[in-house]
Structure 1
Amino acid sequence: MALKLGLAYNDILSNEPLPSGELVIDDTGLALVISVRPARRDDDAQLAQIAYETWSTDTSPLPRPARDAPFFATIEPEHVLVAATSSLGAVGFATLLPAAELSDRHAELCAHVQILRSTAVAPRLQGAGIGGILLDAVQREAMQREASRVETKILSTNPTAIRLAGAYGYREEARLVGRYQWDGRTVDDVLLALEIPHQADGFPSASLSSASLNMDSYHDIG
């Protein structure tokens, strides 16, 4: 399992300039610096691979995406944040959309809300804290968009994602009990929300290790 080190990259001595970001060690012992940036069109193949590899019936009510399905077929890069390293490229992502774009009516009434549609981390780096790095970036991006609220839905069969979201300030606001039934089980759909103060002195943080997440929200659920 990958480990997250409690070091800032500025604390590491090196003869070479280092990019900003957080240091993690993957399951082979390789040190990687994780930074979060806006998605680019050329991320498509790597993001599609991550989405394919991290899908499960525990994390999504939707069918598994085809292995060769373009990632940007259903979402624009401007709505995607990418966790990346200089050597591996994309290793995780979060999709964040304005609620107003998902509302057919009265869009102006929810202009203050952003929807965290999904978050995923490449399997080889699950447990390194990249999910938390992405959630921090989501909050910063939401603040840049002048939002005061971020909403997401997570299946009750994905308790790791629910715990991680809770550690970063998300609170359960509603639960659709028995919303889905498959594989002989009944699954709840859990609505969580993060309230963003108008003037934030900082961001919630947590030491909880994160596994692969897939938070399906309004846009994904038919």
Structure 2
Amino acid sequence: MSDVSDLSGLVIRKARPADEAALADLDRRTWAPDNSAVPRPAAGPHFFDRFHLPDHFLVAELTGPEGNRVVGFLRLVQPVLQQSAAHVRQIQGLGVDHAVRGRGVGAALLAEACAEARRQGARKITLRVLSSNTAARRLYERAGFHVEGVLREEFRVEGVYVDDILMARRL
């Protein structure tokens, strides 16, 4: 999988069932009202379920002499389970540990997601991002995503109406 030059020891790989507790912890720590329209994840080790399988996730893992540490994740799925949409993949969640933000982990996850989508036969990759999440929007734009649509005031998060921005990239 991918490596990042400014983060020695970073590896992007497919998730494994054994990653569940680390991913659940990271998901809770990275949740914020500007990046999610769903409530904060509940405490506990549960991350995977029948709709969120390990095969759907890429994991950013930092390896080193002290051991390995999960520092990011990305969920990649076919959003519409019809043959007519088999050429599309969607990113449905991306989280990066605050300790390594701004150092290329998110970009590495996006690059590997595009490569994985191509391996799966996709021609297009999409995502949805809250208008309040300006850091993620800049990351996606740098990775070649462009706005395809805006759902005005689609969510009300902590009393504030927020737009849902649809972005896409051709592969």
Partner of 2:139: 164
Instruction: Provide the rounded CA distance (Å) in 1 between the counterparts of 2:55 and 2:170.
Output: 23
Instruction: Provide the rounded CA distance (Å) in 1 between the counterparts of 2:80 and 2:128.
Output: 17
Residue 69 (structure 1) shift: 4.6
Q: How does 1:90-109 map to 2 (within 5 A)?
A: 90-101=70-81, 107-109=82-84
Unaligned runs of 5+ in 2: none
Deviations 1:138-159 (A, max 9, x none): 0000000010011100000101
Instruction: Provide the rounded CA distance (Å) in 2 between the counterparts of 1:191 and 1:111.
Output: 19
Partner of 1:3: none
Amino acid of the residue matched to residue 95 of structure 1?
Answer: R
CA contact (8 A) 2:131 2:165 kept: yes
In structure 1, which of residues 171, 174, 178 is the aligned counterpart of residue 153 of structure 2? Answer: 178
Deviations 1:5-43 (A, max 9, x none): xxxxxxxxxxxxxxx722445xxxxxx411111110101
In structure 2, which of residues 62, 66, 74 is the aligned counterpart of residue 85 of structure 1? Answer: 62
Deviations 1:110-155 (A, max 9, x none): 0100010011111211111100010000000000001001110000
Instruction: Provide the rounded CA distance (Å) in 2 between the counterparts of 1:69 and 1:33.
Output: 26
Instruction: Provide the rounded CA distance (Å) in 1 between the counterparts of 2:15 and 2:85.
Output: 25
Amino acid of the residue matched to residue 37 of structure 1?
Answer: R
CA contact (8 A) 2:20 2:45 kept: no
Task: Kindly report the root-mean-square deviation, in angstroms, between the aligned alpha carbons of the 2 structures.
Answer: 1.6
Amino acid of the residue matched to residue 33 of structure 1?
Answer: G
Instruction: Provide the rounded CA distance (Å) in 1 between the counterparts of 2:62 and 2:36.
Output: 27
CA contact (8 A) 2:4 2:104 kept: no
Q: Percent of pairs identical after alignment?
A: 33
Q: How many residue pairs end up in the alignment?
A: 167
Deviations 1:80-138 (A, max 9, x none): 0011122333110100001233xxxxx11101000100111112111111000100000
CA contact (8 A) 1:113 1:149 kept: yes
Deviations 1:140-198 (A, max 9, x none): 000000100111000001011111101111010000011122333220000000111xx
Query: What is the DSSP-based 3-state SS (H/G/I as helix, E as strand, rest coil) of the residue aligned with 1:88?
Result: strand
Aligned CA distance change for structure 1 residues 34 and 185 (closer, same or farther; 3 Å) = same
Q: How does 1:1-222 map to 2 (within 5 A)?
A: 21-24=3-6, 32-73=8-49, 74-86=51-63, 87-101=67-81, 107-196=82-171
